[in-house]
Amino acid sequence: MPSPDALDSALPVLPVESIGAGVDLVLLHGWGLHSEFFRPWLPHVLSHCRVHLIDLPGHGMSPPVSPYSLSAMAAAVARSMRGIAPRYAVAGWSLGGAVALRMAIDFPDAISHVTTLASSPRFLRAEDWTHATTPHALELLRGGLRRDYAATLAQFFELNMAAKYSPLAAELAALGVARPAVSHTALDDGIALTSGVDLRAEIANIRAPLLAISGRLDRLSYSQSSAWLAAATGGTHIDLPHSAHVPHLTDAEATARAVLAHLQKDSPR
């Protein structure tokens, strides 16, 4: 694996939108999406945080990276934050959670706290990792996003928000078109990247305090994987019984309370 320094010179600087004042908190979205989908959650954390919204490479307003790898994505985000905050917390949703874990491993001096939202150190099922989804589920999502981005996003949120989807449906639809749809190249490269993520052997290297938030109804990133992640790092696991794959939207206040409490923990330097 290339070192972060070796990757750095070839990486773009990603656009960063910084909002508010307080503890620096970087928010990283999931595969095929963009950072606008954190927008409804921001009022719950802006009283204590300066939030930094960053589209992952190849998504929204951000250019792609080459190679399209988890290490390159993490290094691009870290490079983009250097002139903004020397040290910050990072919270990642789904694939963004894996990027956050990679950042905590590769850039320990920059990351004060790490939170995963409906994420996992490994996304695909294996003989020694049963609490994960199948390649078929990811392929269905990729195919839908390629064919009809807006309709597939609507279906994704409806499935993962149940009764709480309807009140937010119009807002989510507007957020979906607020930034460019993910490119087909990023979708295709992203499914290969997501399918290959396996950070289990490196998790013990994380020094930052870790919080893993899961939704008990999630069928993409299972609650058991978040529990394993927290146990392996000496971190904290919070399982929201009525949430699925978007806990920051279905249980916005509970997710925010947990994240803000986590940010109060002492972080080793």
DSSP label at 56? P
The H or E element spanning position 89 is: strand 88-93
Contact 16, 53 (CB under 8 A): yes
Place of tokens 């020397």: 86
Contact 50, 25 (CB under 8 A): yes
* Residue tagged active-site, from 52, 245, 248, 262: 245
* Residue tagged active-site, from 62, 71, 80, 94: 94
CA distances to 114, 139, 202 from 105, rounded to whole Å, are: 10, 28, 7
Tokens at 266, concatenated: 């002492």
* Residue tagged active-site, from 55, 106, 189, 218: 218
Place of tokens 């995963």: 116
Catalytic residue list contains 94 = yes
The CA R_g of the chain, rounded to the nearest whole Å, is 17
Phi, psi of 171 (to 5 degrees): -65, -40
Contact 234, 205 (CB under 8 A): no
Contact 234, 228 (CB under 8 A): no
Query: Residue 239 pairs with which residues in a beta bridge?
Result: 214
Query: Residue 55 pairs with which residues in a beta bridge?
Result: none
Residues with active-site annotation: 94, 218, 245
